Structure 1
Amino acid sequence: MTAREANDSPDGPTILWFRDDLRLADNPALQAAVERGEPIVAVYVLDEESSGIRPLGAASKWWLHDSLLALSVSLEEIGGGLVLRRGPAAAVILSLVAETGAGAVVWNRRYGGAERAVDTEIKQAATDAGIDARSFQGSLLHEPWTVTTQQGGNYSVFTPFWRACVAKGEPRHPLPSPDAITPFDDAVASDELTSWALRPTSPDWAGGLSDAWTPGEHGAIERLAFFIEQTLDDYAEHRDEPAVLATSNLSPHLRFGEVSPFTVYHAAEQARRGASARRATSATKFLAEIGWREFSYNLLFHNPELATRNFRPEFDAFPWPEPDARALRAWQRGETGFPLVDAGMRQLWKTGYMHNRVRMIAASFLIKNLMIDWRIGEEWFWDTLVDADPASNAAGWQWVAGSGADASPYFRVFNPELQQKKFDPTGDYAHEFIPELGTAAYPRQIVDLGETRQAALAAFEAVKRGAAASAPPAG
């Protein structure tokens, strides 16, 4: 039976397709479904099969499991439920349309190339079958095609990009959660969440993640409120100090859309207005960091292969050696002999998270002291971070490597010893995650920082000379 045959009435139920927006508050697709007035079939599709779709890493799968549980409970509280399906999203959604006789399909937009291709396929097939298919802006303050240079091009430097965003005026205010939804009366088959095996079992390494995080919309709102009320004042002054609780820790909640950027933006903006100079400065700085998330998605939209291809093509000639397996393993385990790097990597393994300043230091060490391709580090973070974001993760690694947009110059090498003296001078952060620090059990340093820095700079200079030699003459 085709979708058209199943759709006896244009007033059939609405398929509400959840993706990276696992929340009820400020969910434009959910609001559109409620306003349509028909019963709602809410569905989440675990798609690891569509062409180009990148499967989630292990830590993100752990988060997804708990987030879906939380979403299901929230939907039940307002009269609905959550259908779980696994497979290629286009086939799954169109099959569900046929099963239910749906008259509409709604979702909030995503911005990766493969994801947009899936959405286009569904929208075209649904439209051809006489079904209303609509998508909405729920995940970015400013969608990529709305922020362009005066010449109509794309920004590759953050500061003018964010200036252009700010000039567009205040983003819309968040939408309220619906009080109730009309459920679809007929039974709809759903997978059991446990059958997806998103949680680790043999062994169960997620104990530290469970101690550190509360996935789901309620956890996101509580974390946002705590940040605004308790730690925002310290943000501008102390956000680079990993031992100080001064950052929001909202990144995994934003990654899975348990809170919208509009909600976060207006909470920070409200805190900024009429506040003390210190609080206002911190709020402004925090809003700019939300801007970096926007900038990363702008880059991903225009460069779908951001996680695998150098943004700056001259870096394609960089002479990456065969990675040293022992050095890579030492980095992954936090056994390099450099405390700030090791503490960060152990924090990552224990909690699924790493302080952003330490991320830059750990990434720089892998790329420029171990001479290991940034893509290998990006893959490790993708698998181990609970906030492994397809835009921010790739853009961040390319920024450190020097191959990305608005990149840190390649000759900027984060010296982990100097960085520790500056940002963890008492060693509180390092000692928290390295109990054997200062004893004979702690590993020796696996490389000489000066020698490896010079080797990396020499390789980069060779690439620069090659690029200059191959460039066309000026004029």
Structure 2
Amino acid sequence: MTSDPGRSCTLLWFREDLRLADNPALTAAARSGRPVTALYVFDPDLSGARALGAASRWWLAQSLRSLADDCAAIGLPFAVRAGPTEKTVRKAVAEAGAGLVVWNRRYVAAERDTDADIKSGLRDEGVDVESFNARLLYEPWEIEAKSGGPLKVYSPFWRACRAKGEPAEPLPKPSKAKIAAGPKLKGIAIDDLELEPTKPDWAGGLREAWPPGEAGAGKTFSAFLKHGLKGYATDRDRPDRPATSRMSPYLRFGEIGPRQLWHAAKQAADGGDASAKDVDKFHAELGWREFSYHLLHNNPDLAARNFNARFDEFPWRKPDPAHLRAWRKGLTGYPIVDAGMRQLWSTGWMHNRVRMICASFLIKDLLVDWRVGEDWFWDTLVDADPANNAASWQWVAGSGADAAPYFRVFNPTLQGEKFDPEGAYVKNFVPELKDVPLKWLHRPWEAPEEALRAAGVTLGKDYPKPIVDHHAARDRALAAFDRIKA
């Protein structure tokens, strides 16, 4: 059915694309020849979808405020509403007199289903609907094995992606002159969404660590291009160095797009500011994100069900409440684990190498089901992503795609000594150990009493003794893996 000529407005529906640059739906709206009005719908009760965690809710509030300011700067009317998604969107379409609705695609199954229902219903009413890809370099269904069907191993997946050619160039941000302002929809204040903590207000560390919003994304990425991309291929595993892009929360909420990151990094290499090796590695990390979305698209319950069904028989232990609490609070007695968990709690983010170490400790040293850890990260990470979080936890558990060798058990002591060799990361987040000699910093339980005394540390009082013996826990984990080998 064609568009009703009485409907003269274009409605731009923002979702996980909270930016103006490289936003295909916004570009389409600006080019539609109609006045444009924009909407964001907050629906915490969308059937089948997972509610945002606490840290993500805090980030969303800041991002929406930033987006509102950015829309105002180009003369784009923007409203925030809360309620059931389909009902709220269709009501806004009717109020605005929209003959065209545009949005960028989402990939969680419940969200895809909702979008399909809305698209079908609006088209039946004579409203044109167009959707676009702003979130990924390649659509999940575009990448297939040579024999057909989804891919389950990263390397051939990424080769198939690269065979598609370079990702499209990012789109420019429409100027004020390009936007014809449509009707201003009535909305609610962002404060009324009650996304932020109040009593207690635990978000002080997040405010210090992050500038959410599109401008914050650009500033953070520019700093990475200047100071972190050169040497990225090797330094990205060092939590004691500013060698990671910190783009994950901005990608999560769409304040920057992967095409922008891809081409900016490529330009840095072309200009001689980074090596091809460094840029290839950075691109490959974007590729892992693509792979995670490919997995999620083909396995909608990735956060709830083992990708590898053999793990349905894995003998998980019932979590010891004291051990689980120690892991969450960074009081396990293993400094690199504790530094990571405290970084997470204070900043809403954790270095990727340390995420693997902390996840391995929970899963393999404590034999706790990976879903318990995935759920904690979902609540506490500002970049809690439905694809990355689940795929990465399953990878560490061994139950996921491409998790070879699935029985790998990280030694937290050796990992700390290898990737935090000067102890700067541990000393920053576990300050009670800052005066322990480096020789013992990652294994304080082995330090002589006089060395601990001189550092002002009494194990079990100032810093905990290890809650488990890693070597015994490793043997226990390997025995558990033996049970599912067949």
**Corresponding residue of 2:481:** 460
Deviation sequence 1:259-283 (CA, Å, 0-9, x none): 110100001111222637x622111
Alignment deviations for residues 170-201 of structure 1 (CA, whole Å, 9 cap, x no partner):
1110111111222223x522011101111111
Corresponding residue number in structure 1 for 2:187? 190
Aligned counterpart, 1:473:
none
Counterparts of 1:40-189 in structure 2, within 5 Å, are: 40-180=36-176, 181-185=179-183, 187-189=184-186
| Deviation per residue, 1:108-167 (Å, 9 max, x gap) | 011111111011011100111110011001110000111111111111110111111111
Give how far 1:390 is off.
0.6
* Contact preservation (8 Å) 1:11, 1:38: no
Contact 1:400/1:408 (<8 A) preserved: no
What is the root-mean-square deviation of aligned Cα atoms in Å? 1.4
Q: Spell out, residue by residue over 1:24-43, the C-alpha distance to the aligned partner (whole angstroms, 9 max, x if none).
A: 00000001111112121211
- Superimposed CA distance per residue, residues 356-405 of structure 1 (whole angstroms, 9 cap, x where no aligned partner): 00000000000000111100100000000001011000000000000000
How far apart, in 2, do the equivalents of 1:305 and 1:88 lie? 22
Letter of the 2:30 counterpart: V
CA drift at 1:61? 0.7
Counterpart position of 1:220: 217
Paired AA for residue 365 in structure 1: F
Instruction: Give structure 1 stretches of 5+ with no counterpart.
Output: 466-475
Q: Secondary structure at the match of 1:248?
A: coil
Q: Which moved more, 1:24-33 or 1:227-236?
A: 227-236
Report what 1:24 is aligned to: 20
CA contact (8 A) 1:162 1:291 kept: yes
DSSP 3-state at the match of 1:445: coil
The aligned counterpart of 2:447 is none
3-state SS, counterpart of residue 455 of structure 1: helix
Q: Distance in 2 between matches of 1:360 and 1:408?
A: 14
Letter in 2 for 1:457: L
Secondary structure of the structure 2 residue equivalent to 1:120: helix
- Residue 472 of structure 2 aligns with which residue? 451
Is residue 311 from structure 1 mapped to residue 307 from structure 2 by the alignment?
A: yes
1:445 maps to amino acid: P
Distance in 2, matches of 1:58 and 1:258, equals 19
1:240 aligns with 2:237: yes
Inter-partner Cα distance in structure 1 for 2:43 and 2:405: 37
Q: Is 391-400 or 90-99 further displaced after alignment?
A: 90-99
Q: Which of 336, 340, 363 does residue 336 from structure 2 map onto?
A: 340
What is the number of equivalent residue pairs in this alignment?
Answer: 458
Any idea what SS the aligned residue of 1:16 has?
A: strand
Q: Distance in 2 between matches of 1:106 and 1:120?
A: 13
Kindly provide the amino acid, as one letter, of the partner of residue 181 in structure 2.
P
Does the aligned pair in 2 maintain the 1:271–1:280 contact within 8 Å?
Answer: no
CA contact (8 A) 1:410 1:457 kept: no
CA deviation vs aligned residue, 1:180-225 (integer Å, no higher than 9, x gap): 222223x522011101111111111111111110000001111111
**Within 1, Cα distance between the matches of 2:232 and 2:166?**
22
Q: Quick one: which amino acid aligns to residue 183 of structure 1?
A: A
Q: Percent of counterpart pairs with the same letter?
A: 56
Task: Give the match for residue 293 of structure 2.
Answer: 297
1:15 to 11, 16, 35: 11
Secondary structure at the aligned position of 2:323 is classed as helix
Tell me the CA shift for residue 253 of structure 1.
Answer: 0.6
Structure 2 CA distance for aligned equivalents of residues 292 and 11 of structure 1: 43
Once the 2 structures are TM-superposed, how far is the Cα of residue 8 of structure 1 from its aligned partner? 6.2
- The question of whether the paired residues in 1 share the 8 Å contact of 2:77 and 2:185 is answered with no
Alpha-carbon offset, residue 450 of structure 1: 1.0
**How far apart are residue 409 of structure 1 and its match?**
2.4
Measure how far apart 1:10 and its partner are: 4.8
Amino acid at match of 1:229: K
Supply the distance in 2 between the matched residues of 1:414 and 1:22 (Cα, whole angstroms): 37
Once residues 82 and 170 of structure 1 are traced to their aligned partners in structure 2, the CA distance between those partners, rounded to angstroms, is 33
Whole-Å Cα distance in 1 between the matches of residues 149 and 5 of structure 2? 44
Contact 1:144/1:298 (8 A) holds in 2? yes
| d(CA) in 2 for partners of 1:411, 1:405 | 13
In structure 2, the gaps of 5 or more residues are 437-456
Distance 2:360 2:185 in 1: 50
- 1:392-407 pair list within 5 angstroms: 392-407=388-403
CA distance in 1, matches of 2:370, 2:166: 36
**What TM-score results when the alignment is normalised by the length of structure 2?**
0.92
Which residue identity does 1:454 align to in structure 2? D
3-state SS, counterpart of residue 231 of structure 2 = helix
Match of 2:90, SS state, is: helix
**Secondary structure class of the residue paired with 2:426:** helix
* 3-state SS of paired residue (1:74): helix
Q: Would the aligned equivalents of 2:18 and 2:214 in 1 still touch at CA under 8 Å?
A: yes
SS in 2 for 1:412: coil
Q: Report the Cα distance in structure 1 between the residues aligned to 2:153 and 2:484, rounded to whole angstroms.
A: 22
Distance 1:50 1:349 in 2: 27
Alignment TM-score, normalising by the size of structure 1: 0.94
Secondary structure of residue in 2 paired with 1:249: coil
Matches of 1:358 and 1:304, distance apart in 2: 27
Q: Find the residue that maps to 1:43 and give its secondary structure.
A: strand
| Partner of residue 450, structure 2 | none
- Residue 436 of structure 1 aligns to a residue whose secondary structure is helix
